[in-house]
A and B are shown apart, each in its own frame.
Chain A
Amino acid sequence: MKDSQGPLWEVFVQKKAGQPFVHCGSLHAYDKEMAIENARDLYTRRSEGSALWVVPAAAIVASSPEDAGSFFEPSNDKVYRHPTFYQIPEGVKYI
């Protein structure tokens, strides 16, 4: 959307090294530097993170919720992908 506020960016925060980056919200900024600085000021005022990603919202490709059923369907009938599908005789340990 054309706006005097600059393009929209999505912000992802990593709490501690090693943890996943989690989406926390979005913001407007005119360029990358401003986006990352705004993200720091807006989303990590209380040391919520140790690393940040900002991504132009326009670059994100999202699955569509209406098609979620058929889109994710292939994994629904594959119970054999879970460990509980397999029977291990009693007494066998560490498996």
Chain B
Amino acid sequence: MDNVVDVEKNFNSKLEKNDFVEPKDWMPENYRKHLIRQISQHAHSEIIGMLPEGNWISRAPSLRSKIVLLAKVQDEGGHGLYLYTAAETLGASRDELLGALHTGKAKYSSIFNYPTLTWADIGAVGWLVDGAAIMNQVMLQRTSYGPYSRAMIRICKEESFHQRQGYEIMCRLCFGTEEQKEMAQDALNRWWFPTMMMFGPPDKDSPNSEQAIKWRIKRETNDELRQKFVDRTVAQVEFLGLTIPDKNLKWNETKKGYDFSEPDWSEFYSVIKGNGPCNKERLEARNKAHSDGAWVREAAIAYAEKKKENILAA
């Protein structure tokens, strides 16, 4: 039997070699805890994220847009399931994880506490929110924990249509009537800064993230990802003929990237604490879905038990 020093050395050398850590490998308790927290928060974000978009399924403006939105929201549900099972490989149970979400103990991405007021919001969410999520998830394909990485690879494959369908909606609106374009601008105005917050607080205020980088759970910092996102998005906004609601947005030749304003971090912390426009609604909807589904789970358990008896009797 290896001693603790050896297994720890082994773990560290795996990280150095960019090898993956697998469920049965020895890992530091804090690495495990960090992963359970991060992966389950990620899973919660996927399924809570179904709500603001689900809001528009019944009111999508065409049959085509309705089936597209349905397929996207269904994908997000699938993403939640991949991630929950990845978290379970670390010893957490599904009931425990869902319980933490339903009681408000666990967090999910603050972005989903904003309302989707118009059809243009569905465009903005697919384009910007999924765009930002993809940037984060592409990085996480190389995360050090094997099951998390594999879930991310699947998810990234599926995400590729999510952002495109959002941008397609924006294109239709921006090259449509004056009124439609205004709707698109209004959506951009409301979603820009909340999207910037998705990458998390600035590096200097994000103590967890330094450790996550050391463990290679994350491969890029919050600020690096945010910068990359802005640099890639500006041209897409210009193509639409829209304006990013930030007076300080300006190309910086020396850093070969854009300068931009930080989002209002006090708003971010306040939304995380539960004071966003939709926190209450989201949590209620999730709790209702879960308790409304209780009879299905109970019936399924009873049916499985009954069939087991039959097998024994036969």
The answer to the question of B263 belonging to the interface, with a C-beta cut-off of 8 Å to chain A, is no
Residues in B neighbouring A24, C-beta threshold 8 A: 154
A25 x B7 contact (CB < 8 A): no
Residues in A neighbouring B82, C-beta threshold 8 A: 25, 42
User: Chain A, interface size: which category?
Assistant: 20 to 34
Q: Which residue of A lies closest to B301 (CB)?
A: A30
Residues in B neighbouring A27, C-beta threshold 8 A: 81, 85
B72 CB → nearest A CB, Å: 11
The answer to the question of B22 belonging to the interface, with a C-beta cut-off of 8 Å to chain A, is yes
Q: Mark A15-48, 1 if CB is under 8 A from B, else 0.
A: 0000000001111101100100000011001100
B307 x A31 contact (CB < 8 A): yes
A15 CB → nearest B CB, Å: 14
B24 x A46 contact (CB < 8 A): no
The answer to the question of B253 belonging to the interface, with a C-beta cut-off of 8 Å to chain A, is no
**Cross-interface CB contact of B24 among A30, A34, A42, A65, cutoff 8 Å:** A65
B26 x A66 contact (CB < 8 A): yes
**Cross-interface CB contact of A8 among B88, B154, B304, cutoff 8 Å:** B88
Cα distance A23–B95 in the bound complex, in angstroms: 24
Q: Mark B18-51, 1 if CB is under 8 A from A, else 0.
A: 0000101110000000000000000000000000
**Cross-interface CB contact of B300 among A1, A34, A62, cutoff 8 Å:** A34
B85 x A66 contact (CB < 8 A): no
A5 x B304 contact (CB < 8 A): no
A4 x B297 contact (CB < 8 A): yes
B93 x A31 contact (CB < 8 A): no
The answer to the question of A3 belonging to the interface, with a C-beta cut-off of 8 Å to chain B, is yes
Residues in B neighbouring A1, C-beta threshold 8 A: 88, 93
B165 CB → nearest A CB, Å: 15
Question: Contacts A30-B300, A66-B26 known; A42 to B158 CB distance under 8 Å?
Answer: no
Cα distance A5–B160 in the bound complex, in angstroms: 30
Q: Which residue of A lies closest to B25 (CB)?
A: A65
The answer to the question of B75 belonging to the interface, with a C-beta cut-off of 8 Å to chain A, is yes
**Cross-interface CB contact of A28 among B75, B89, B94, cutoff 8 Å:** B94
B304 x A62 contact (CB < 8 A): no
The answer to the question of B2 belonging to the interface, with a C-beta cut-off of 8 Å to chain A, is yes
The answer to the question of A64 belonging to the interface, with a C-beta cut-off of 8 Å to chain B, is yes
The answer to the question of B202 belonging to the interface, with a C-beta cut-off of 8 Å to chain A, is no
**Cross-interface CB contact of B78 among A6, A8, A45, A62, cutoff 8 Å:** A45
B300 x A6 contact (CB < 8 A): yes
Cα distance A8–B22 in the bound complex, in angstroms: 18
Q: Mark B292-306, 1 if CB is under 8 A from A, else 0.
A: 000001001101100
The answer to the question of B151 belonging to the interface, with a C-beta cut-off of 8 Å to chain A, is yes
User: Which residues of B (139-166) have their CB < 8 Å from a CB of A?
Assistant: 150-151, 154, 158
Cα distance A24–B304 in the bound complex, in angstroms: 25
Q: Mark B75-116, 1 if CB is under 8 A from A, else 0.
A: 100100110010011000111000000000000000000000
Residues in A neighbouring B93, C-beta threshold 8 A: 1, 3
B95 x A4 contact (CB < 8 A): yes
Q: Which residue of A lies closest to B2 (CB)?
A: A66
Residues of A at the B interface (CB closer than 8 Å) are 1, 3-6, 8, 24-28, 30-31, 34, 41-42, 45-46, 62, 64-66
7 additional A-B pairs beyond A64-B24, A66-B2, beta carbons within 8 Å, are A3-B94, A4-B301, A6-B304, A25-B82, A30-B300, A31-B303, A42-B81
Residues of B at the A interface (CB closer than 8 Å) are 2, 7, 22, 24-26, 74-75, 78, 81-82, 85, 88-89, 93-95, 150-151, 154, 158, 297, 300-301, 303-304, 307
What would 21 A/B residue contacts be, using CB atoms closer than 8 Å? A1-B88, A3-B95, A4-B297, A5-B95, A6-B297, A25-B154, A26-B88, A26-B89, A30-B301, A30-B304, A31-B304, A31-B307, A34-B300, A41-B78, A42-B78, A45-B78, A45-B158, A65-B25, A66-B2, A66-B7, A66-B25
